[in-house]
Structure 1
Amino acid sequence: MINLRRPLQFRYYSRDHSCSGNYSLVAQSVLIEPLNYNEPTQIHLAYGDRLDQIFVSYLTNSSQYSPQCQYGLNPLSLEFHQNGTTTTYTASDMCEGKANAWGPQAFIDPGYMHTILLEDLQPGTIYYYRVGNDELGWSAVYSFTNRPADKNQGVTLIAFGDMGLSPVEPGAKSTVARVTTQVLSKNITCLLHIGDISYARGIGALWDAFMTQIQPIAARVPYMVGIGNHEYDHATGGNKDPSGAPGPGGFRPG
């Protein structure tokens, strides 16, 4: 069970043997609350424009929050510190349904996304870091290796596309497992998800589950993304599309 920043309840429904008619509620669990509503979740890395930059992003439940990253060259001595910025979005920011309507199978409160820019990082160097703050708690300590200084030096990428969420998309679990093995055993420079990210199709809870699914790799290696048709082919709401794709080649429906 993942931290969706709200109490959860499991319900068991049934209907007749012919699989017709309405579902009837048979049983339900007690409400299950997160141990920490403001647990840092969905931790992921991305490259900045400069060779010495890395973005660290994560999510919590609170807007009254000072996002921080502690980092350093020793996991037992995170001597550097950087503050970040916070943002969120609402259903009215989304282009079309299901994403722009509230409901368990549509838009849910996404929490608050925190982004911290680390700068002046040394090339090819292992850094250890954690995110959070003293008041609401810290994440585990993760590590990453900054990219090399020489632009002509060879790098190792792992590229994939069309990855959804297991068990809805069964291949996702094995893909993440294989990538995790590579990340932990080899010097992987970055990950490239070339498009069709999560297949959430407007269901907010699936985005939470997808970001939780990729955290074991995205918290260790920059997770760079491209735009696929599932990110681009909205039929309405083009005025809310933040991509800035120009017409007529850009797809920006009114």
Structure 2
Amino acid sequence: MKKLCLPVLSLFLIICLSPQLLKAQDDDFIRQPPRRVILTKHTRSDSDPQQVHISLVGKDHMRVSWVTDSKHGKSVVEYGKAPGKYNGKATGEDTSYKYFFYSSGKIHHVTIGPLEPATIYYYRCGGSEQEFSFKTPPQKLPLEFAVAGDLGQTEWTNATLEHIGSIDYDVLLLPGDLSYADTHQPLWDSFGRIVEPYASKRPWMVTEGNHEIESFPIIYPTGFKAYNARWRMPYQESGSTSNLYYSFEVAGTHVIMLGSYVEFDAESDQYRWLQADLAKIDRKKTPWVVVLLHAPWYNTNTAHQGEGESMRKAMEELLYNARVDVVFAGHVHAYERFVS
């Protein structure tokens, strides 16, 4: 675990998530053995919200997402600044998906706001009596991010989530590999339940990793079916046409979430979007520019070297010319940093 404190932007990095690494005397890292997968069971009624998580939408709105087993649950969120007192109400939409013999519950997405910065809000989903709360990020710097990648749902995950829960961060950034479901869809539900105590209290902004692809020739050729249905990010608000890459701004920081597993060459939609997105940034108003992606462009792990090279060749110059401050990647389950 490493804490990096910058003048006006604080980044709390959760490193070596699944499994963790230990520093050896010869300066090599030793990978600890994997630990068992934790399956978090559903203990609520079919109509009660589960897997609740929130994400930022624009400068003063929040998207609340959750799942109900009942197909009759309403996509409604009531919210307010005092427990049990809800003077705000918003209606959203729902979706669901099928993956071979698996049918998801009803997945709800509701955008609420406008919200005041640095304020605690209390909310309930779908008319349920269960109350949740979250704190909105500040309007101006300083700002604190928690950055965690390759989360999974093992005993290592529990340790990582405890670290995350021990700090009063503003926004969590997750550069891919969420549930490690790998086509076993009930693991998506289990993951949603294990992170709910954290993801319902602070906005979690994510991008996809290789474990989210879940493609299958002919039947599911494009992949990302579960990821796109469950973890909807504010891509449209940033001018993107895909949930797999987008950007957002919070408290003087422009965050760009790139997709390592969608076309990125100079003729691609992602490349053209990134070019346009970088051109819009006003560094006087947003002095920090942070980029996240899953497959690192530089790393010393021989098992993964070269996996991000094509994307690096295509996009690195764009980031360099835009004077991006820092790039975070996941995938290799190790902590490395490069400073030029």
The verdict on a shared fold, with TM-score over 0.5 as the criterion, is yes
SS of residue in 2 equivalent to 1:156: strand
Q: Which residue pairs with 2:56 in the alignment?
A: 47
Quick one: distance in 2 between partners of 1:115 and 1:147?
A: 20
* Match for residue 163 of structure 2 among 159, 172, 178: 178
Quick one: distance in 2 between partners of 1:205 and 1:234?
A: 16
Asked if the contact 1:51/1:147 (under 8 Å) is kept, the reply is: no
Quick one: distance in 2 between partners of 1:247 and 1:229?
A: 15
Asked if the contact 2:214/2:223 (under 8 Å) is kept, the reply is: no
Quick one: distance in 1 between partners of 2:50 and 2:222?
A: 30
Q: Which residue pairs with 2:145 in the alignment?
A: 157
Listed as ranges, the gaps of 5+ residues in structure 1 are: 4-33, 92-100, 103-107
Shift in Å, 1:125: 1.6
Q: Which residue pairs with 1:198 in the alignment?
A: 179
* Match for residue 64 of structure 1 among 46, 66, 72: 72
- What percent identity do the matched residue pairs reach? 28
Asked if the contact 1:165/1:173 (under 8 Å) is kept, the reply is: yes
Shift in Å, 1:64: 2.6
Asked if the contact 2:50/2:66 (under 8 Å) is kept, the reply is: yes
SS of residue in 2 equivalent to 1:206: helix
Q: Which residue pairs with 2:196 in the alignment?
A: 215
Partner AA of 1:114 in structure 2: H
* Match for residue 110 of structure 1 among 101, 104, 112: 104
Quick one: distance in 1 between partners of 2:64 and 2:172?
A: 15
Quick one: distance in 1 between partners of 2:118 and 2:265?
A: 42
Asked if the contact 2:73/2:106 (under 8 Å) is kept, the reply is: no
Distance 1:240 1:232, change over 3 A: closer
Quick one: distance in 2 between partners of 1:224 and 1:247?
A: 21
Quick one: distance in 1 between partners of 2:66 and 2:113?
A: 18
Quick one: distance in 2 between partners of 1:173 and 1:117?
A: 29
Quick one: distance in 1 between partners of 2:93 and 2:214?
A: 30
Q: Which residue pairs with 2:45 in the alignment?
A: 36
Q: CA offsets, 1:105-147, max 9 Å, x none?
A: xxx22101001101211122221111122xxxx1522221222
The structure showing larger relative contact order (alpha-carbon pairs under 8 Å, at least 6 residues apart) is: 1
Partner AA of 1:180 in structure 2: G
Distance 1:76 1:207, change over 3 A: same
Shift in Å, 1:238: 3.5
Q: Which residue pairs with 2:87 in the alignment?
A: 79
Partner AA of 1:42 in structure 2: Q
Distance 1:247 1:126, change over 3 A: closer
Q: Which residue pairs with 1:24 in the alignment?
A: none
Q: Which runs of 4+ in 1 moved over 6 A?
A: none
- The alignment's TM-score, normalised by the length of structure 1, stands at 0.68
Matched, 1:144 2:142: no
Asked if the contact 1:132/1:139 (under 8 Å) is kept, the reply is: no
Distance 1:35 1:198, change over 3 A: closer
Shift in Å, 1:204: 1.2
Partner AA of 1:173 in structure 2: N
Q: Which residue pairs with 2:258 in the alignment?
A: none
Asked if the contact 1:40/1:139 (under 8 Å) is kept, the reply is: no
- The alignment's TM-score, normalised by the length of structure 2, stands at 0.52
Asked if the contact 1:125/1:145 (under 8 Å) is kept, the reply is: yes
Listed as ranges, the gaps of 5+ residues in structure 2 are: 1-39, 229-241, 245-261, 269-340
> Alpha carbon RMSD of aligned pairs, Å?
2.3
Q: CA offsets, 1:190-229, max 9 Å, x none?
A: 1111111111111111111111000000000001112222
